[in-house]
Structure 1
Amino acid sequence: MSNFTQAVDTLRQPQWQGALTQLTRGIEREALRIDSNCHLAQDPHNPALGSALTHPWITTDFSESLLEMITPVYQEPDQLLQHLSDAHTFVLKNIGEQRLWPLSMPCFLGEDDGAIPIAQYGTSHIGRMKTTYRIGLHNRYGSQMQAISGLHFNFSLPSALWPALGIASDDQAAITDRYFSLLRYFRRKAWVLAYLFGASPSLCKSFLGDTKSSLPFVESHGTVYLPYATSLRMSDLGYTNSAQDALSVSLNGLEDYVRDLKHAISVPSAEYAEIGVKVDGEYRQLNSNVLQIENELYASMRPKRTADSGETPSDALARGGIEYVEVRALDINPFAAVGIDRSQVLLLDLFLLDGLLLPTEPLTEASDAESAANFEDVVLDGRRPDKTLQYRGEPRALSDWMSELFERWAQLAPILDAANGDNRYSDALQQWQGCATDPTQTLSAKVLDISLREGHGHWAGKLADKHRETLLNRDFQRLTAQQLEQAVVDSHAQQAAIEAADSGSFDQFLVDYFAQ
């Protein structure tokens, strides 16, 4: 009997049924606001949506025009998606005739990189820091790259389930070690999510502008694409930083991870020093290091712990270990009004639970390079017939590997179904099963087919209209209109209180922050 089979048999025992219904999840969905011509909206974040600095469910990411809808943690997927839908509905009720762009790769952004309005968070020190960080991103990488939208999926196990994995519920060190094991598992298998859920095989030609890409794009009526791509968002077109290439942040344990992350934000960059930090009284970036702050380090999955006020992510982890993981390698699903559907949430449960069941071996330089190469191969060419990847230095058919993973998940699905009293996981697995051996059933294949037939921008515009109508014609389900309106009032009051409580200069605030 394999270790995996033994672990599955343990989960099947009756005492774990209740805990299996308590997997916790949260979602952060980014979406560009667009006008009737599918151009980027130029107006500021609407005050009717609340303060972007303090609202718990509706904020902005890089740009005033790049909304981010956030859920709290939920144990029931339907409630999670109801909350996300309620936030979307409230947004659309308060942005007039504007719509939300339904794809990860942006709409028409304008000829000038400066036409993407950088997010503003008020006059407080922390608000100015958030804006200054984004000014730094603009000066370092350009704003277009920052306008790419994604979806983040937060996941954790309930404390009652850890003993089923042989870990005491109060042993935070062992829990953290197993989450790092999941991070390594994810590093090796992140290509699975790009293959199944990647939905950005094509983009509007305007995004490239006059830039000569090294990728062998094919062009058709203003749409550029790679014939077998799955997620151009996750390629070099997306959030990449060549200066980060020399940085190495270990996933082999908490102490190494925190040490490497703290080192990463202290490495100076001659290239960024040329930009300047504060020039003629105006900040161009927070500092001239390779990373301004820890969150600038790109990662397809991050270990997370809720930080105290003024605490950096690495300090929070060092204090309390990993609380949850954040999956960042997900494209927006354009066929879902809120960017993700229930079947994806359930499949993510299976994928992540599989990764937590057993410890995984440490990453080596060779295995890490192999994992990175597999991911890039799937992102750019994953739907090619008879695609092969590398597994421990040997070629392995992608379809065989995917089929093996689906077989593993098929052993987990009935156990989770029994705990929940329905067939939700088996149904979700069945819905995506065909993708394992038939790439034409993947999201990216469907997106490419429609965008080439109807035109990238035309199709996306129609989809934005459809989703707008769907979301406006539904009732609030998880939240009430009164709760949503009160959150707006409260968030403005909270921002005003933060601004009133500030003391000292912004310059000193930054000195104190980085002195940590």
Structure 2
Amino acid sequence: MFSKIGQLIFDNEAVAKTSDFTMGLEIEMHRIDDAGDLSQEPYPAAICDEATNPWITTDFLETMSEIVTPPATYALDAMHYLYGINNILRTSLAPGELLWPLSIPPKLPKDTSHIRLAQWGPEKEAYLKEWARRHRFAEGTPCGAHINLSIDQHLIDLVLENFPERFKNELEAKNYLYEILAQGFMRYRWLITYLFGASPIAEKNYFENDFKLEHPVRSIRQSSLGFGTKFAGDYTSVQAYVDRIQQGVKDKILIKDYEFHGSVRFKGNPVLSELPKTGAEYIELRMLDLDPSSSVGIRTDTLRFIRLLASYLIMTPALKPNEVNRVLENADRMNEEVTSEDPRSICKYQNKARALIKSLERYANRIQLGPEYQEILDDLEDRVENPLTMPSARLLNYVKDDSLEEYALRRARHYQRAAQESIIKFEGFEDRQYTAAELKEALFPGNWDPDLRRS
């Protein structure tokens, strides 16, 4: 089951470190009015400036609020941050404003010229205008949940120390581990779409020229009809990844290097060309739809599954370099097929999904993970066997007149009332920026219960 690196980690009793990822979350949600239209209100004044607030910003549109949590050692810490910052945003909204809980935006006007793009300063605003000119406007509007994962330094040191003939320095060892993580998540992106896709239909004017889907699907957002630029990355290595993006800019396929919105991104040095020299510091996973059953757009069990899958990918044999592009091109095709399936139907890749979940079960048993992980895998196995339990299929129970607006507004109002009644209060963004440590202390005075943090 284990690769040579995985066996080394297992023999050194360091398996726990493979799931001790430092984790950060980025959750996008549109601000809407009580009628379900994009809000006409400006960025909330109580939380200062979207260009300078590091924890609550915007993405593409002025209405597309993005919550960014500080890095956290445990999944529950990240969720604590997310709930706290989400509450700050909700209680800072203008009267009557709500947060739309679905990935695909609310109904859009036919004339989008009056909708304000994000106010990021002249350079970024010029980029957004050019992006909107090149693309169908609605393609910039889907929202999602992004997960940032950073590998524990102990693993990097262990690999470097025990494979000196393979890795000359820490940079090579670190980049390799991030490369196999990125390749693995891209390889199994289709499974994540299958299990967590939650955008089966689109609201009015998302599509142009009276285009209509033939039937509901598993995920519009994760399909070719979803977000933005259709530009494939090269995950063979960090260097190949950077080279591909830079060539895309040179060929004028991409406006800027930060236009690359692959489902996985290597992150670290803000200057992309320097990334291979300084090394990846984390990967950003961008393949999750918002989960409307949660006020914050993602559930703790989903984070646990992602951590389990990441641990499995580090411990098991990776793709050979000459196989990466071929395998990931096929994985992209599989994902496109999965996105476009009717969510009430049996997936074409049901047997592959069964086999992978069984492999994860064996892995979880081998490394003696807690019963909560077995429960998660049992639930996901049930989804595979019973399509009607999939998130997109469940959402179809609430469709009225080809719309989820009534359901989304009901959930949005419920979450807004709960936030306003919450005991988490915070005042201060209008005065200054807060560091991660200051934000933690302001939101959660004292220490969090350590018994709750093991996740």
Instruction: List aligned pairs for 1:93-492, cutoff 5 A.
Output: 93-95=91-93, 96-121=95-120, 127-162=121-156, 171-212=170-211, 217-218=213-214, 226-227=215-216, 229-241=217-229, 244=231, 249-267=233-251, 289-307=252-270, 312=271, 314-357=272-315, 358-362=317-321, 363=323, 366-381=326-341, 383=343, 385-388=345-348, 398-414=349-365, 418=369, 423-452=371-400, 455-476=403-424, 481=426, 485-491=427-433
**C-alpha displacement at 1:164, in angstroms?**
6.3
Deviation digits for residues 153-174 of structure 1 (CA, Å, limit 9, x no counterpart)? 1112201134666668962212
- 1:10 Cα deviation (Å)? 5.7
Shift, 1:306, TM fit: 4.4
Find the aligned partners of 1:406 and 1:443 in 2 and give their Cα distance.
Answer: 18
Alpha carbons of structure 1 residues 163 and 423: separation in structure 2 relative to 1, 3 Å: farther
Q: In the TM superposition, what is the alpha-carbon distance from 1:92 to its structure 2 partner? A: 1.1
Pairwise CA distance, 1:58 = 0.4
| Equivalent residue, structure 1, for 2:439 | none
Contact 1:178 1:359 in 2 (8 A): no
In the superposition, the TM-score normalised over structure 2's length comes to: 0.86
Q: Distance in 2 between matches of 1:354 and 1:382?
A: 30
The answer to whether the aligner puts 1:81 opposite 2:79 as a matched pair is yes
Task: Tell me the alpha carbon deviations over residues 297-324 of structure 1, each in whole angstroms, 9 at most, x when there is no partner.
Answer: 23111111142xxxx2x23412311111
In the alignment, the residues of structure 2 paired with residue 321 and residue 74 of structure 1 have an alpha-carbon distance, to the nearest angstrom, of 21
CA RMSD of aligned residues (A): 2.7
Q: Do the aligned partners of 2:105 and 2:143 also contact (CA within 8 Å) in 1?
A: yes
Closer, same or farther in 2 for the Cα pair 1:62/1:8, shift >3 Å?
same
- Whether the aligned pair in 1 keeps the contact of 2:150 and 2:281 (CA below 8 Å) is yes
Q: Distance in 2 between matches of 1:327 and 1:200?
A: 18
Give, in angstroms, the shift of residue 369 of structure 1: 3.2
C-alpha distance 164-24 of structure 1, shift in aligned 2 (>3 A): same
Deviations 1:65-94 (A, max 9, x none): 110001011111111111111111111111
Q: What percentage of aligned pairs have identical amino acids?
A: 23
Equivalences, count: 426
Amino acid at match of 1:155: L
Name the CA distance, whole Å, in 2 between partners of 1:259 and 1:435. 39
The alignment partner of 2:221 has SS state of helix
Provide structure 1 residue ranges, at least 5 long, that are not aligned to the other structure. Answer: 122-126, 219-225, 268-288, 389-397, 493-516
Q: What is the DSSP-based 3-state SS (H/G/I as helix, E as strand, rest coil) of the residue aligned with 1:238?
A: coil
Cα distance in 2 for residues equivalent to 1:52 and 1:14: 46
1:291 aligned counterpart, secondary structure? coil
SS in 2 for 1:486: coil
Q: Which amino acid aligns with 1:486?
A: G
- 8 Å contact from structure 2 (residues 117, 125) kept in 1: yes
Rate the CA distance shift 1:21–1:151 in 2: closer, same or farther, 3 A: closer
**1:403–1:21 distance in 2 versus 1, CA, 3 Å:** closer
Q: How far apart in 2 are the matches of 1:160 and 1:212?
A: 52
Whether the 8 Å CA contact 2:269–2:280 is kept in 1: the answer is no
CA deviation after TM superposition for structure 1 residue 20, in Å: 4.9
| 8 Å Cα contact 2:171-2:279 kept in structure 1 | yes
AA in 1 matched with 2:407: W
Could you report, residue by residue, the CA deviation over 1:235-292 in whole angstroms, capped at 9, with x for unpaired residues? 22212446x4xxx64211122222222222111xxxxxxxxxxxxxxxxxxxxx3212
Q: Which residue of 2 aligns with 1:28?
A: 26
Distance 1:115 1:430, change over 3 A: farther
Q: Secondary structure at the match of 2:314?
A: helix
* Unaligned stretches of 5+ residues in structure 2: 435-455
Q: 2: distance between equivalents of 1:204 and 1:471?
A: 26
Residues 334-384 of structure 1 show CA distances to partners (whole Å, capped at 9, x for unaligned) of 101100000000001112222222322234654343222101000101646
Once the 2 structures are TM-superposed, how far is the Cα of residue 449 of structure 1 from its aligned partner?
A: 2.4
Report the Cα offset of residue 441 of structure 1. Answer: 1.5
Does structure 2 conserve the Cα–Cα contact (< 8 Å) formed by 1:417 and 1:424? no
Question: In the alignment, is residue 91 of structure 1 matched against residue 89 of structure 2?
Answer: yes
Amino acid paired to 1:361: K
Are the structure 2 counterparts of residues 417 and 336 from structure 1 closer, same or farther at C-alpha, using a change threshold of 3 Å?
farther
